[in-house]
Structure 1
């Protein structure tokens, strides 16, 4: 009998093993194991050409116990490669760990799964580098050194996946804050911001500050932070959906489950002011901001925008006091800054590039008087008839410089920003060295390859145009100024719905990606009136029926509603049927109705909440913002249509003024005016001479040999 049972048990195990699918890096469904998969795709496609080439990508790792890591490399390679000697090597954080011959079927896209050595992965930012050596077939040993046929493309669909168990050790406010903003918390939707059902304007304002602050400090997937009412979490079975949460509310309005979780010390401090405290529930760890003093509660909300400050809270409670200052020191934009602190070195024949990230304000554009000053050195074994340095801003070339043997040990280049290049916010400066060699017949080894070096003395002069047009191309201006919230006022309906809170959440999270400090201001009001918007940059959220300001501003909108507010109307830019207008959402950026300069109002609305939500999604993700242009947009069946209604002449005048600040333009104007002045003076003298000459001729006419009287 026992023998029979054992046989049945063994058979069941075997069947289970056979029938279960291969898990690979799939996360465990068992909550006991708590295993998750973090995946980061490549930021861009990489085209690797030439004999020697390389590309680099980066990925982030949290405070995890890593069980397994894998790199899914999606690539294709030239049909002409010589598979006997062509190969590539992958390095992780500077250490090579994988090499492979390129024996794949040529030209076809292939996915290669490669195990990453866990021992090489570190907490924080990790570097993954791919280096290739590609020879073409049926050629002389070195005949393809200058060929463009030896290429390998790495797709941006390539991704790094890490199977991990998160560290859930929470002993302090700092620990809980770290987990709320962690990759695990954000990526898996395990973090939530919770407000009372009867939420006050103060609660909503605090929530807006927390949303922008956490978004600023999150490394990935900031969009997944939820904004919920307490009944959505505590009165249902949703507690198990989240591991971490932030609850905002006055002490008297706390739900019993939260109030009972506070320590006696936390309750005492909350009665006298405001406190941040950990409350551990069955399935969730809550960071509760509560108290009785509204000013201190608002100060507690701004703390979430200061990452370093929050990480200093080593106790289970933090008392918010009147004398503490959680505001960050505001960094001013420097006119001159170094492109690189330590210099940049590239080596290898043909095109080699190096890029630098530059920070600037989103509400201002680079003026044509901005310039780049480069000090470079390069090897002397180049073919100087063909070797160049080209400089790009955001992949747009702004100028080239021919390299010369005489200046190889110290060359200087000065390039101005073209007036037709519109750059606002952070941007990329890329330098591409075309290092061509004479008689490059054999480059089988990289030992004697050419090189170039960008000196730390290289600088960029950033001159910013103060005024930018009120257009979505410059969003988040005017709501962000100099990387701070700029007197933002959010007008919600009297009783905001879940859809309204969803839009508020998305807008605040996106704004947070563009701020660098917590010194700005944002205020949220429910049931706001038009006069509340005076002196503010206003964001109006809500359908026509639910928001009073939408109804009062209808005459000023580019896309207006019909009298009943049930449909958008046709205008000079787009014809709209009644049926289509009833389902559309719209985003519009208009001037302040009070005639205030550099103030604006943005409307996120629609005849229905569903229409409003369809439009709001384009402002809820930075990767979709590029689709929002002009100053009036409508979204129909998921597709956005953008139009510009404002005149651009003011910005053209500003560009002309900025051009006059350039030294080269001023020199040219001075020389031109001087030449023109000399020409005018010369012309006047010639005219005077001939006029006088004519008078003398007439005066002497008839005296000698002239006509007798």
Structure 2
């Protein structure tokens, strides 16, 4: 999808990137700058000596330089504009209003539409639905609830449905007294493929009045599809046969969307590597949950007390009880490789055991399970994950991050965009961005397109929108019909905002359009696949629950995250940490940076991370250490919270509440810290239960939230300004832009070196001329 970097350059860039990312603030940058400057001055001296010998030769051998010719590639040719699959309305079938007959199945899945309104003579909409590999699909049908314009001419209007680009049926469209209508469409199982499928609804809607055709009133010929419309799939499930390639099934499945009954357990020693891998898995599987996340995270000894039907156990091999070692069979080798074993526990329930002789290798195994391309290769019961195998993917990710936001339409869609038919036409380009994406400054769009020459060019134009916000437009012209362009920079008012799509719209107006448009007069427009979008993501941080990703995610991966846990974490604390990780990890990609430290192990020198910590003042030493930095401080004895300028707390209330506090990290600039704190296990458990519900998580606002004993919340704003509008301090700017600063110094020094060299050459040439004269 992105341009490849040569192996040598890739290696150098990777080394430089690693150095920059692992350095603590200020000191290392200063040392690096001094080293670079020193090397540049040494290089300057060498160049001066070389120039001293080269100047006579340069004077004698100056020749005109060849001109560089830059050729423009010609846009691809379009043999013929493809047309929407519409049927002859008079030959289309009447709408089917009864549910298709089918055999009952154990499981069903409904995928609902969002409400859509199709306008114009030709229009279409898509619904995507997913069929996992473990489904044995028995039937599929669509139920559409819709209504149409009262001006619609039923004898000249139809609707066609296609699955994965294959037309399956066409029906007449008619107005029915303003009442919503129902249409059932049976979808052949043979057309359903594993993975994503598309249902395309193509409408051909004509308008007539008493005097004849009025199709040019394009807003009047509409088809509204209600959000009660859906696709229903009936299926049975396949036996996973203890094959890892089926993962995450049966541990997560479409028929259990909350994850109820799944327990992710670590050994009772809860060493850092075990907890890190377990939290990585929790974040990944939480992407499968819907309205509520009922996955449990606990110590292995507590798993028996859970309502467990499926277990994922993460443990260093030395910490595994004997019964689990027997299930693993052969112990992992001493090279640090990890193993993943799919088996059944003593009660015949699915069990996945992740183990290694080295706890640091457990995170590699969790990354493998998050990587669909690697999981599908593991058709057996046991997989061996070699130590360091994920490093290739991590390095590749760092390289791709440097090119993030630079796409062509071919990268995103595999082709260009076609617009067919008169009047207003919309097409959406769904951006390959993650949930934490925010637009940075410097974004640009360069569209290349062409269109038919039979348009009314006084009324035809192209418009580009960021989501649904118009950002640029251009009127079409006959002289540019065979090759036009629209180039613009993203407007300042949308910087710091996010959108999942860019909408490209054409208004293709035809003069004197009559009742039955001839096919040869059909207007069309085509946006070339070479069109480019440069949409760089913001690297700033925003410490607010309104922006769920920042600062703990970047480019869809964990962004230098360190989880600080109590030395002896309780089950409630592990569960709470799991729910916080799930909140920030929904849709997470593998190979991010996620570490775990116990409170007593944490050193200030390790503080250049975005930190998440849970617990109480008494059992988590880090919380006691940062108490003065919290928005709500603990009392000296740790049994309650103190009042502050925004809220006066009563004594009893202060000991019962749980608080989620986002603050600037006291250990490093341009880093954030989230502390989820309470004074008792009851308050910790209450926060955990609150975070299980996605609707509740969406209610979190500002940078500090109190969760009361009745589970109501109160939000406070203590940090003034946000990443989008606050002006960082000078030293923060230096850290935020450390790469840019270093590269700017290198570039400036190099330019200075070249300038000095040119001046010396010119002086030496002048000297030799005078000598010759």
Report TM bin, short chain. 0.7 to 0.9
Preserved CA contact (<8 Å) 2:558 2:593: yes
d(CA) in 2 for partners of 1:57, 1:186: 21
Matches within 5 A, 1:390-539: 390-423=463-496, 427-443=500-516, 448-513=521-586, 515-525=588-598, 531=604, 534-539=607-612
Deviation track 1:23-75 (CA, whole Å, cap 9, x = no partner) reads 999986xxxxxx32223223x32111223321111011012211222323233
**What is the aligned counterpart of 1:120 among 166, 191, 197?**
191
**What is the aligned counterpart of 1:56 among 122, 126, 142?**
126
CA distance 1:649–1:156, shift in 2 (3 Å): closer
TM-score, normalization: structure 1? 0.75
**What is the aligned counterpart of 1:280 among 336, 344, 347?**
344
Matches within 5 A, 1:14-93: 35-42=106-113, 44-63=114-133, 64-83=135-154, 85-93=156-164
The CA RMSD measured in Å over matched residues stands at 4.1
d(CA) in 2 for partners of 1:412, 1:213: 42
d(CA) in 2 for partners of 1:513, 1:459: 29
How far apart are residue 125 of structure 1 and its match? Answer: 0.9
Partner of 1:332: 401
More deviation in 67-76 or 625-634?
A: 625-634
Partner of 2:16: none
Partner of 1:667: none
**What secondary structure, in the 3-state scheme, does the structure 1 residue paired with 2:492 have?**
coil
**What is the aligned counterpart of 1:381 among 420, 430, 454?**
454
CA distance 1:577–1:202, shift in 2 (3 Å): same
Partner of 1:602: 674
More deviation in 81-90 or 176-185?
A: 176-185
Partner of 1:353: 426
CA distance 1:414–1:511, shift in 2 (3 Å): same
d(CA) in 2 for partners of 1:575, 1:25: 63
Deviation track 1:413-437 (CA, whole Å, cap 9, x = no partner) reads 1111111213466742211112122
How far apart are residue 118 of structure 1 and its match? Answer: 1.6
**What secondary structure, in the 3-state scheme, does the structure 2 residue paired with 1:415 have?**
strand
d(CA) in 2 for partners of 1:598, 1:134: 56
d(CA) in 2 for partners of 1:452, 1:186: 43
TM-score, normalization: structure 2? 0.70
Partner of 1:130: 201
Preserved CA contact (<8 Å) 2:290 2:694: no
Unpaired runs of 5+ residues, structure 2, are: 1-98, 737-773
**What is the aligned counterpart of 2:280 among 209, 217, 220?**
209
How far apart are residue 146 of structure 1 and its match? Answer: 1.3
CA distance 1:230–1:82, shift in 2 (3 Å): farther
Deviation track 1:567-588 (CA, whole Å, cap 9, x = no partner) reads 7677656787778777765433
d(CA) in 2 for partners of 1:187, 1:293: 32
Deviation track 1:267-296 (CA, whole Å, cap 9, x = no partner) reads 474898643223234542322112433233
How far apart are residue 252 of structure 1 and its match? Answer: 4.5
Preserved CA contact (<8 Å) 1:303 1:326: no
Unpaired runs of 5+ residues, structure 1, are: 1-21, 29-34, 659-709
Preserved CA contact (<8 Å) 1:541 1:603: yes
Matches within 5 A, 1:304-343: 304-322=369-387, 324-325=389-390, 327-328=392-393, 329-330=396-397, 331-334=400-403, 336-340=406-410, 341-343=414-416
How far apart are residue 516 of structure 1 and its match? Answer: 3.5
**What is the aligned counterpart of 2:614 among 541, 546, 549?**
541
Deviation track 1:286-342 (CA, whole Å, cap 9, x = no partner) reads 221124332333433333333323333344323444464465121234264313342
CA distance 1:150–1:567, shift in 2 (3 Å): farther
Matches within 5 A, 1:593-632: 593-594=666-667, 596-606=668-678, 627-632=699-704
Partner of 2:244: 173
**What secondary structure, in the 3-state scheme, does the structure 2 residue paired with 1:456 have?**
coil
**What secondary structure, in the 3-state scheme, does the structure 2 residue paired with 1:630 have?**
coil
d(CA) in 1 for partners of 2:334, 2:290: 33
How far apart are residue 207 of structure 1 and its match? Answer: 0.6
RCO greater where, 1 or 2, for CA within 8 Å and sep 6 or more?
2
Work out the number of aligned pairs and report it: 622
**What secondary structure, in the 3-state scheme, does the structure 2 residue paired with 1:442 have?**
coil
